[in-house]
């Protein structure tokens, strides 16, 4: 199937030939659908915090934060071009719709307005404004990542999305005056990110009395996946070379795996709000971290108890702990296991990464929801599932999916180390059979592309997982430029 030139290309990308062959086999076989058992709902997989519990978990986190070295991990490599789909249509084809009319009518309300005015020629018409806004003639927002875009207005100076993450980090990821942040970026934008931060970090350090420890990583070429024709043969570029494509946010598992931190907050670059409504976000970030620390302590304690002798009462207690608190239902074959086999089972299930996922009430946003799912080992556990992973032609599965009451806004707190302080190898806890196949085109030719298991979906399939409801105000992503005109962003 592959020529020597192909093999040289694969090797240069740092990809295993066996991995490429498996990807092609996955195209042929397809990926199995998730087996939904039921939606995770309040009192049935989703925890709701009372005011008292919220305060207790915040206090728990604040009492331990100095010793746990938290880090804030922000995927920030995606281009913002999709934010401007309507504006590009207006610029390139003269098409105008309600969103473009709103954009121009309320132009002066955007945080980037002052910057735009400085580069615009006099008496610029709407098309010229769009041109200078989107292209390299002016602000070139159409080609920049979201992290570099001005999001919010302040009297002291307007802020980009990445600056809002600096402020957030100082308020809930501050350990003894050190705030650690990690951003995944595209190589072509790294210099712009570093230049911006060099200019603004001293001011934020002075304002919040902290020192920032900021690092970057890029999505690795070795995580790209091969593209194929519709008949599952390798797709070839005009020069005869193979086509490898970025494999979605699941590829960032390799970046997360390199992080050395006890506790990691994961949040998308565009889900930020102005200072006036950040307090709720701070409270729930701390509370979710408190929930994580509580259950991490419980897990470590159970692991210690198992080393001291696993009595029958302990096995019964662990069975209930997994079913009632970690929401892991044992496979039907569990009852047939010997005592020693049950001990080995729990040792394995306890020794896994742990995550607490904030979920908001479902308001119709597209994306993943929390579900109880049947796993390949026969157990049932909590998973974040996207619609593409569900067999919506199956009426039973469709009904379960449509009964979802909550939505995952990419709000995760993760514990990445075991009881000995050693990093887990996160790649071992991914379900490789939860990838995606999509249809794309290149140079006028149809092709099939493959995405790795999503970072908060199949990439974390074999983690211990807890879902906690968080207020809707903590979820304010910017998917289109006009989202910045919503009250939450003004």
C-alpha to C-alpha distance for 453 and 249, rounded to whole angstroms? 8
For 169, the enclosing helix (H) or strand (E) is helix 161-172
Region of 124 (left: φ > 0; alpha: ψ -120 to 50; beta: rest) is beta
C-alpha to C-alpha distance for 15 and 247, rounded to whole angstroms? 13
Over the chain (490 residues), the average pLDDT of each successive run of 10 is 94 96 96 95 95 98 94 90 92 92 97 96 94 96 95 95 98 96 95 97 98 96 95 95 93 96 95 95 97 98 94 95 95 93 95 96 80 93 92 95 87 96 97 92 92 92 96 92 92
As a dihedral over the C-alpha atoms of residue 163, residue 166, residue 172, residue 178, rounded to 10 degrees, the angle is -170
C-alpha to C-alpha distance for 359 and 369, rounded to whole angstroms? 8
Q: CB-based burial of residue 374 (10 Å sphere; 0-12 exposed, 13-18 middle, 19+ buried)?
A: middle
Specify the pLDDT at position 321.
Answer: 97
Region of 157 (left: φ > 0; alpha: ψ -120 to 50; beta: rest) is left
pLDDT in tens, 212-261: 999 999 989 999 999 999 999 999 999 999 999 999 889 999 999 999 99
Backbone angles phi, psi at 447, to 5 degrees: -150, 165
C-alpha to C-alpha distance for 76 and 66, rounded to whole angstroms? 27
C-alpha to C-alpha distance for 73 and 182, rounded to whole angstroms? 5
pLDDT in tens, 320-376: 999 999 999 999 999 999 999 999 999 999 999 999 999 999 887 666 799 999 998
Global confidence as pTM: 0.94
Specify the pLDDT at position 443.
Answer: 87
For 339, the enclosing helix (H) or strand (E) is helix 339-350
C-alpha to C-alpha distance for 241 and 137, rounded to whole angstroms? 34
Specify the pLDDT at position 78.
Answer: 77
Specify the pLDDT at position 81.
Answer: 84
Specify the pLDDT at position 444.
Answer: 87
C-alpha to C-alpha distance for 411 and 271, rounded to whole angstroms? 9
DSSP 312-330: HHHHHHHHHHHHHTS--BP
DSSP 361-410: E--S-SS-EEEEEE-TTS-EEEEEE-GGGS-TTSHHHHHHHHT--EE--S
C-alpha to C-alpha distance for 152 and 158, rounded to whole angstroms? 6
Specify the pLDDT at position 269.
Answer: 95
CA 190 to chain centre: 20
Q: Tell me which DSSP letter residue 65 carries.
A: H
Strand-pair partners of 71: 264
CA 302 to chain centre: 30
Of 477, 387, 368, the C-alpha closest to 146 is 477
Contact in structure between 313 and 321 (CB atoms under 8 Å):
no
Strand 354-361 relative to strand 464-469, pairing: parallel
Distance (Å) of CA 130 to CA 3, 59, 274, 315: 47, 49, 26, 65
Contact in structure between 289 and 61 (CB atoms under 8 Å):
yes
Q: CB-based burial of residue 164 (10 Å sphere; 0-12 exposed, 13-18 middle, 19+ buried)?
A: buried
Specify the pLDDT at position 208.
Answer: 97
């Amino acid at each position: 199937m592959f020529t020597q030139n192909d093999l040289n290309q694969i090797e240069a990308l740092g990809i295993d030939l066996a991995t490429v062959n498996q990807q092609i086999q996955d195209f042929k076989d397809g990926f199995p659908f998730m087996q939904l058992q039921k939606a995770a709902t309040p009192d049935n997989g989703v925890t709701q915090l009372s005011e008292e519990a919220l305060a207790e978990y915040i206090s728990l986190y604040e009492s331990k934060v100095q010793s746990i070295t938290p880090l804030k991990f922000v995927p920030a490599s995606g281009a913002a071009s999709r934010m401007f789909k309507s504006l590009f249509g207006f610029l390139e084809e003269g098409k105008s719709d309600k969103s473009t009319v709103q954009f121009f009518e309320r132009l002066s309300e955007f945080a980037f307005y002052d910057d735009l005015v400085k580069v615009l020629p006099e008496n610029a018409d709407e098309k010229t404004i769009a041109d200078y806004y989107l292209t390299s003639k002016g602000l070139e927002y159409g080609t920049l990542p979201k992290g570099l875009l001005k999001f919010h207005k302040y009297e002291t100076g307007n802020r980009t999305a990445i600056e809002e993450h600096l402020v957030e980090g100082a308020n809930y990821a501050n350990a003894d005056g050190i705030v650690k942040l990690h951003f995944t970026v595209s190589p072509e934008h790294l210099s712009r990110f570093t230049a911006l931060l060099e200019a603004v970090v001293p001011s934020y350090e002075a304002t919040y009395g902290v020192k920032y420890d900021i690092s970057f990583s890029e999505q690795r070429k070795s995580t790209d996946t091969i593209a194929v024709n519709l008949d599952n043969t390798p797709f070839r570029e005009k020069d005869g070379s193979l086509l490898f494509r970025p494999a979605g946010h699941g590829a960032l598992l390799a970046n997360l795996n390199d992080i050395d931190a006890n506790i990691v907050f994961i949040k998308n670059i565009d889900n930020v709000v102005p200072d006036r409504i950040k307090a709720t976000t701070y409270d729930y970030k701390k509370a979710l971290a408190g929930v994580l620390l509580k259950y991490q302590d419980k897990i470590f304690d159970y692991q210690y108890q198992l080393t001291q002798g696993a009595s029958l009462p302990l096995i019964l207690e662990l069975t209930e702990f997994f079913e009632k608190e970690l929401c892991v239902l044992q496979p039907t074959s569990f009852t047939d296991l010997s005592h020693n086999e049950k001990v080995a089972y729990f040792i394995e299930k306890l020794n896994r990464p742990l995550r607490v996922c904030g979920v908001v009430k479902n308001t119709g946003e597209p994306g993943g929801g929390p579900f109880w799912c049947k796993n390949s080992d026969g157990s049932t556990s909590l998973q974040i599932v996207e619609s593409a992973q569900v067999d919506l032609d199956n009426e039973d599965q469709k009904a379960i999916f449509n009964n979802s009451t909550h939505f995952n806004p990419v709000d995760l707190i993760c514990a990445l180390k075991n009881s000995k302080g050693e990093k887990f190898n996160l790649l071992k806890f991914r379900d490789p059979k939860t990838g995606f196949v999509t249809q794309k085109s290149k140079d006028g030719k149809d092709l099939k592309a493959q995405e790795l298991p999503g970072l908060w979906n199949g990439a974390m399939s074999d983690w211990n997982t807890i879902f906690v409801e968080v207020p809707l105000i903590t979820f304010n992503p910017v998917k289109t430029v006009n989202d910045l005109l919503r009250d939450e962003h003004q």
